[in-house]
Amino acid sequence: MFNYYLRLARISILKHWGLSLLMILAIGLGIGATMTTVTVNYLMSANPIPHKSEQLYYVQLDSWDVNDPFDEGQNPPDQLTYTDSTNLMKAKKAFRQNVQAQAYAVIEPNDPEILPMIVNARANSADFFAMFDVPFIYGNAWSNQADDNKELVVVLNKETNEKIFGGKNSVGESIRIDGNVFQVVGVIDHWQPKPRFYDITTGAFNETEEIFVPFNLIAEEKVRRSGNTNCWKPSGDGFEAFLASECIWTQFWVELKTEQDKDDYLNFLNAYVEEQKQYGRFLRPIDNRLSTVTQWLENQEVVADDARMMMTMSFMFLVVCLLNTVGLLLAKFLGKAPEIGLRQALGASKSTLFFQYIIEAGCIGIAGGLLGLFFAFWGLIGIETLYGDYMQNLATLDFNMMLLAIAISFFATIIAGIYPTWRACKVQPSHQLKSQ
Amino acid sequence: MIEIGLIVRALLRNKIGALLIALQIALTMTIMVNAIFMIQDRQSQMQRDSGLDEANTFYLTNTVFGKDYNLQAEMQTDLNIIRKTPGVIDAIQINAIPLSGGGWSMALQHEPGDDKDTIGSALYMVDDHAINTLGVELIAGSNFAPEDIEWRASGQSTWPSKTIITKAFAEQLYPDNWETALGKTFYISQNQPMQVIGIMKTLQAPWNGWGGVERSMLVPFQMESQSSYYFIRTESGRRDELMPIIEKTLAERNKERIIRRVTTLEETRKRSYRRHNATNKILTTVVITLTLITGFGIVGLAIFSINRRTKQIGTRRAIGATQWQIMRYFLVENFLISCVGVVIGIAGAIALNMWLVKTFNLTPIGFELIVFGAVALFIVGQLAVLYPAKKAALIPPATATRTV
Amino acid sequence: MLVMNNINKTFQTGNIQTHALNNFNLTVNEGDFVSVTGPSGSGKTTFLNIAGLLETYTSGEFTLDGKDVGQLNDNGRSRMRNEKIGFVFQGFNLIPDLNLFDNVDVPLRYRGFDAKERRRRIEENLERVGLASRMKHLPSQLSGGQQQRVAIARALATEPRFLLADEPTGNLDSQMAQGVMTLLEEINQQGTTIIMVTHDLELAMRASRTIQVKDGRVSELDVVAEKVSA
C-alpha cells in the first residue's frame, strides 16, 4: 500500500508540475535560508573543546577604577594585570595554569634566500599545550623550568616549519627571532579551534598563532606585544613601570578537575584580592570570576548580533513559505474532490485517504528539503565570500545539519498538509459523484 | 462600492484561503519593512565621511628588527625620501589608521584628578604634516608648528601640551558652543594638561562601530617605535602607480626592517564595512525572494479559487456582468484581503522593530517606511491577482448552461 | 438480498424539513435486474445514495446481504461498499491521471488483494468488457462508451453482490448507449444483480422489474409486467 501511495503521489506531483514546482521551490528557499543561518549560528556557538570545556576556566579579577566600572558594572575587566597574572602563576594553586598574551616577532631565517618575515606569536606558559590539547607532530612543549628560567625556546606551527625548515623535524634547530637565537622544541599540527576560544579579545575567529614562546620573554623584551591593552590610570615612564602598572593586557586560564577544586580556587582568588587590598590596590568590591569555556564564550557574545538577527528573519521566512505551501496544498487537494469522492465510493475510508494525501505532502516536503540543502550549500558559500576572513572555514554543512534540514522540511510540510488534507477528505462522496 | 458587502460575505464563507493570504502578506510586510530599515541604517553608516582624502591615500607598516637601528634618524630619512618622491603630496608617521579596527584611545577630562568624569577619544600621533597628508579640513585655530613636535620614547608616560581635536569632540567637551573649545585646556592621563590649538571638521576613529567614532585628536608626537605606519598622500590619480615604487624604495634602502601590508584607504573602508555590506546584500535577497514567493502564492490560490467558481462566474456573465466587472470583483476581493494582511503586518512590523531597536541600539522606524511597506504589498497583491482575474473575466457566459 | 423497510430520509435546512424518502420499501432478490425511475426531485437520487451506503437514512431498516446497515460506522460502510457494491456512474468518474489498468485496480487496492490476484481480476474484467488490449491507455484516449465499459469493469472487479448504476447511458449517444445496455443485460444474465436508476422510461423497461418513485414513495409500474421486446 505504501508503494502504491508513493506511486500515486508521484503521478499527482508530475501531473500538476507547475503547482508542485512552486511549492517545492518555496519550501526549498525557506529551508535553504533557515539552514544557512542556523548553521552559521550553530558553528559560532559550537563548543570548540567539548571534552574539556567544563574544566578549563578563564580568570577575571576586578582591579579596575573605583570611580568608573569597566563594563558599565556588568562584568569585571576581560584581562588581568601583569602583576596579578605573575602572582597567580607563582601561587600554583591549580592543576594546570597558563598566563598568555598576543605578540608578534620578526624571524630571520638562516637561509639568506628566505626573506625575514613577521609572524603572529603567542607568549604563554608551558601548560598551555596540555590544557588546550594542542596536537604536536614533532617534539613537545617546553617544561615549567624553561618558563621560570626564561629560556629562549619556541614551538612552531606546521606552516612556519614548512617555510623555514622545509617541513622536516626541526626539534633542536636554532632559529633567529628578533635578533636572538631560539631553539625549536616542538612543531604543532594544523590546529584551528572555532571559535579561537583561548583568546577572543582580539577576534573570536582569528587564526591561531604561527609561533609560541614562553610568556616571560615579553618582560625580557624578546618579543613584542600586540594584544589589547587597557589602563584606567597612567602607568609612569618606561617598560618596568608599565609592567608594574594597573594596565590589563594578560590572560589567565586554569584547569580544575572537580567542582570542589573550582570552589577552592575561587576562595583562593578572593583571599588573594583581600591581600592585595592591603597594598592599596583593588579598591572596587570583590568580583572575581571563573568562567568555563562555554560560559566565557557566551559572556563575550561570540555569536554576532547580525547572525542572530538573520536567523530570526530566516525562521519567519520559512513560516511564510509554509503558509504558502498550506495555501497551495489546499488549492491542490480541494481540486481533487471528485477523485476523493470516487475513492470513498469505491471503498476507501476517510483515514485511508488522509494517509494517502499526507504521503503526497511528505514527498513534496522531502523534495523541498533536498532543494533546500542545495540552496543552503550555495548560501554558505555566499556567506563565506561576503564576510571574508571573519567566516573563513566556518561554514560547512555537516551530516547532522543535513539530516536536520530534511527532517524540518518533511515534518513542516506534513504539518502544513494536515489542514488541507483533512478539509479535502471531509468531502461528501455523494456530492461529488453527480455531474449535475 | 456596490459589491463590497457581497464580497465580504463570500470571503467569510471561505475564511481559510483568505486568511492564508492575509497572513502571508502580514509576515512579508513585517520582514520587508524591517529588512529595509536595517539596510537603510547600515547604508547610512557606510556613507559616513572619514575625513580623509580616501581616493589618494595609502599606508604601510614599517617593522624594525635590526639591533643597532637609529629609530629617529632612519624614520626622518624615510619620510624625507617619500615626501620628495615626485607625485607625492605629503607623508607622515602615524600610530593608527582610521576605520582599520585597531588603534589608540585615551580618556580625557575637564579637570585634573583621579575621580573625574571622562570622555573617550581616538588618538593619532603625528607631526605638523598631518593635516596636509590626511586631507582633513581645519575649521578653527591653527596647525602644529614644527617646534611643537616631540619625540616619544617607548613606554613614555608624558604627553605634549598641544592638540588638534575634531568638532564632534569639541561638541562633547562644550555642548553649548563647540567653538569655545579653541584655546581651552583639558587633561589627559588624569592630570596632564593639553591645550586645543585647532579644530578639524571630521576625522573618524579606527573603530566604526564605536559610539565615539567621530571623536579624534591629533597629538604632536613622533614615535621611537619598532613598528609604526607611514601614511602617504599622492596627487590625484597617481596613487596606484606610486604604491609599489615607494614600497620598493623603502625596502631596498634599509634591509633591517620589513615593509609590509601596503594598503589603500579605500580597501580599508571596504574591509571595515564588509559585514554591513554583506548583511545588506543578504537582506536585499531576502526581501526580493519573499515578495516573489508571496506574489506567486497569491497567483496560485487565486487561480484555484477562480476555477472552483467557474460556473458561478459564467452565470454572472450570462446575467449581464461585463468582463471588467468580473475583474473588478477579484481585484476588490484581493484588496480586502490585503487590508486585513496589512493591518496585521503593521502590528508585526512594529513588534519586530522594537526587538531590533533593543538588540542593535538603533532609532526606531519612521512612519514613512511602514506606509511604504503597506503600499508595496497592496501593489504586489493587486499585480499578483491581475492575471487570474483576467482569466476569470474571459470565462464564457455559456458555461452557465453547460452541465459537464 | 437487499431489503429496505420503511426507510425515511429527511433533510433539515434552516427551518424547512424536506422528506426525501417517505416510508420507502423495496426488496431486491439475487439475480434481479431492477430499474428505479421517476421524475426530477422524486427522491430517486436519495434512494441511490442510500442504497450505495453513500448517505445515512433517518429511520427504518436497511439490510444488505443479511447485515443491518444502520449499525455501521463510516469505516464499516466503506468496507461494505468495497466488498458488496459496484458503482457505475453517469459521468463515468474514471481517474484521469491513471491508465485503465490502474483505474480498475483502485477498489481492489482497498480490498487488500495481493498483486497477483489483482492482476488476474483486472485482466479478466477488462477482457469481459472488451477492452483488455487498451489496458495502458488513459481515459482521455477513449470514447464515452468505452469509458463507461471500463467503469463497469471496475465495478465488477471486486465481485460485488450487486451493481448500482446511475443513469449509465446518460452521457452517451444512442449507439454507444445500446452497447452499454447490451453489456449490462449480458452481465445480469451471467448472474449479477443490477439496480439501475434512470429517468428514461424506455431504458427502464429493459429491466426485468421497474419501480417508480414519486414524492419519496414507491409504486410498481403495472405497465411493465411484460418485457417489451427490443
Tens digit of each residue's pLDDT (9 = 90 or more) over B9-54: 888 877 888 888 899 999 999 999 999 999 999 899 999 999 999 9
Q: Residue C229 pLDDT more than 70?
A: no
The CA distance from A320 to A312, in Å, is 13
pLDDT tens per residue across span A280-338? 999 999 999 999 999 998 888 877 777 888 888 888 888 888 888 888 888 888 888 88
pLDDT tens per residue across span C134-158? 999 999 999 988 999 999 999 999 9
Q: Residue B297 pLDDT more than 50?
A: yes
Identify the band that residue C230 occupies on the pLDDT scale cut at 50, 70 and 90.
very low
β-pair partners for C3: C27, C63
> Mean pLDDT of all residues in chain B?
90
pLDDT tens per residue across span B313-360? 888 888 777 888 888 889 999 999 999 999 999 999 999 999 888 888
Q: Residue A251 pLDDT more than 90?
A: yes
Identify the domain boundary among B191, B225, B255: B255
Identify the band that residue A151 occupies on the pLDDT scale cut at 50, 70 and 90.
very high
Asked if residue C130 is part of any domain, the answer here is: yes
Asked if residue B269 is part of any domain, the answer here is: no
pLDDT, residue B194, reads 95
Asked if residue C6 is part of any domain, the answer here is: yes
Amino acid at A313: M
Q: Looking at the 3D structure of chain B, how many domains does it have?
A: 2
pLDDT, residue A345, reads 87
pLDDT, residue A434, reads 66
Are the CB atoms for B306 and A331 separated by under 8 Å? no
Q: Where are the alpha helices (DSSP H) in B219-322?
A: 239-253, 265-272, 274-308, 310-319
pLDDT, residue A127, reads 95
Interface mutation vs chain C, best among A8, A13, A342, most C CBs within 10 Å: A342
Lowest mean pLDDT among A24-33, A111-120, A382-391, B290-299: A382-391
Q: Which three cell numbers stand for residue B140?
A: 578653527
- Gyration radius of chain B over CA positions: 33
Interface mutation vs chain C, best among A2, A17, A346, A350, most C CBs within 10 Å: A346
Identify the domain boundary among B221, B255, B289: B255
Q: Residue A143 pLDDT more than 70?
A: yes
Q: Do A346 and C110 touch (CB under 8 A)?
A: yes
B11 and B119 part of one domain: no
pLDDT, residue C225, reads 44
Q: Which residues touch A432 (CB under 8 Å, ≥6 apart)?
A: A337, A338, A340, A341, A342
Q: Looking at the 3D structure of chain C, how many domains does it have?
A: 1
For residues B275, B276, B277 and B283, what is the CA-based torsion angle, rounded to 10 degrees? Answer: 110
- A25–chain C nearest CA distance, Å: 24
Asked if residue B197 is part of any domain, the answer here is: yes
Count of other CB atoms within 10 angstroms of residue B193: 12
Residues 249-278 of A with CB under 8 A from B: none
Asked if residue B98 is part of any domain, the answer here is: yes
pLDDT, residue C219, reads 74
Q: Residue B69 pLDDT more than 90?
A: no
Interface mutation vs chain B, best among A117, A231, A306, most B CBs within 10 Å: A306
B172 and B236 part of one domain: yes
The CA distance from C115 to C105, in Å, is 10
- B165–chain A nearest CA distance, Å: 21
Asked if residue C230 is part of any domain, the answer here is: no
Amino acid at C228: V
Asked if residue B326 is part of any domain, the answer here is: yes
Are the CB atoms for C216 and C25 separated by under 8 Å? no
B220 and B298 part of one domain: no
The CA distance from B189 to B173, in Å, is 16
pLDDT, residue C221, reads 61
B219 and B350 part of one domain: no
B142 and B39 part of one domain: no
Asked if residue B55 is part of any domain, the answer here is: no
Are the CB atoms for A405 and A31 separated by under 8 Å? yes
The CA distance from B316 to B6, in Å, is 13
Count of other CB atoms within 10 angstroms of residue C81: 26
pLDDT, residue C224, reads 47
For chain B, say whether A108 makes contact (Cβ under 8 Å). yes
Q: Residue A72 pLDDT more than 50?
A: yes
- Gyration radius of chain C over CA positions: 18
Instruction: Note the ipTM here.
Output: 0.80
**Domain of residue B153, residue span:** 66-255
Contacts with B190 from chain A: Cβ below 8 Å: 233-234
Q: Do C79 and A352 touch (CB under 8 A)?
A: no
SS (H, E, C) chain A: CHHHHHHHHHHHHHHCHHHHHHHHHHHHHHHHHHHHHHHHHHHHCCCCCCCCCCCEEEEECCCCCCCCCCCCCCCCCCCEEHHHHHHHHHHCCCCEEEEEEEEEEEEECCCCCCCCEEEEEEEECCHHHHHCCCCEEEECCCCHHHHHCCCCEEEEEHHHHHHHHCCCCCCCCEEEECCEEEEEEEEECCCCCCCCCCCCCCCCCCCCCCEEEECHHHHCCCCEECCCCECCCCCCCHHHHHHHCCCEEEEEEEECCCHHHHHHHHHHHHHHHHHHHCCCCCCCCCCCEEEEHHHHHHHCCCCCHHHHHHHHHHHHHHHHHHHHHHHHHHHHHHHCHHHHHHHHHCCCCHHHHHHHHHHHHHHHHHHHHHHHHHHHHHHHHHHHHHHHHHHCCCCCCCHHHHHHHHHHHHHHHHHHHHHHHHHHHCCCHHHHHCCC
Asked if residue B56 is part of any domain, the answer here is: no
For chain A, say whether B155 makes contact (Cβ under 8 Å). yes
pLDDT tens per residue across span B299-317? 888 888 888 788 888 888 8
pLDDT, residue B2, reads 63
Lowest mean pLDDT among A386-390, B105-109, B140-144: A386-390
Per-residue exposure over A118-156, b if at least 16 CB sit within 10 Å of its own CB, e if not: bbbbbbbbbbbbebbebebebbbbbeeebbeeebbbbbb
pLDDT, residue B7, reads 84
Asked if residue C229 is part of any domain, the answer here is: no
Q: Do B20 and A67 touch (CB under 8 A)?
A: no
Asked if residue B353 is part of any domain, the answer here is: yes
Are the CB atoms for C9 and C19 separated by under 8 Å? yes
- A66–chain B nearest CA distance, Å: 8
B195 and B327 part of one domain: no
pLDDT, residue B214, reads 95
Section C211-217 average pLDDT: 83
Residues on A contacting C at a C-beta cutoff of 8 Å: 1, 4, 11-12, 15, 338-339, 342-352, 428-430, 433-435
B146 and B173 part of one domain: yes
Residues 231-250 of B with CB under 8 A from A: none
pLDDT tens per residue across span A412-428? 888 888 988 888 888 77
Q: Which three cell numbers stand for residue B9?
A: 460575505
Q: Do B301 and A331 touch (CB under 8 A)?
A: yes
> Could you tell me which of A76, A103, A436 has the C-alpha nearest to residue A282?
A76
B227 and B294 part of one domain: no
Identify the domain boundary among B255, B284, B304: B255
Asked if residue C183 is part of any domain, the answer here is: yes
Residues 288-327 of B with CB under 8 A from A: 289-290, 293-294, 296-297, 300-301, 303-305, 307-308
pLDDT, residue A157, reads 95
For chain A, say whether B252 makes contact (Cβ under 8 Å). no
Q: Do A390 and B20 touch (CB under 8 A)?
A: no
Lowest mean pLDDT among A222-226, B84-88, B138-142, B398-402: B398-402
Q: Residue A61 pLDDT more than 60?
A: yes
* Residue C34 host element (H or E): strand C33-37
pLDDT, residue A391, reads 62
The CA distance from B74 to A387, in Å, is 39
pTM of the model: 0.78
**Domain of residue C179, residue span:** 2-224
Q: Residue A436 pLDDT more than 50?
A: no
Asked if residue B154 is part of any domain, the answer here is: yes
B327 and B211 part of one domain: no
Interface mutation vs chain A, best among C109, C198, C199, most A CBs within 10 Å: C109
Q: Residue A267 pLDDT more than 90?
A: yes
Q: Residue B136 pLDDT more than 70?
A: yes
Residues 288-307 of A with CB under 8 A from B: 304-306
B189 and B320 part of one domain: no
Section A13-30 average pLDDT: 89
> Could you tell me which of B305, B298, B290, B297 has the C-alpha nearest to residue B392?
B305
B214 and B333 part of one domain: no
B84 and B43 part of one domain: no
Q: What is the CATH number of the domain that holds C112?
A: 3.40.50.300
pLDDT, residue B234, reads 95
Q: Which of A12, A347, A428 sits opposite C81 (nearest CB)?
A: A347
Q: Residue C223 pLDDT more than 70?
A: no
Q: Residue C226 pLDDT more than 50?
A: no
Count of other CB atoms within 10 angstroms of residue C94: 25
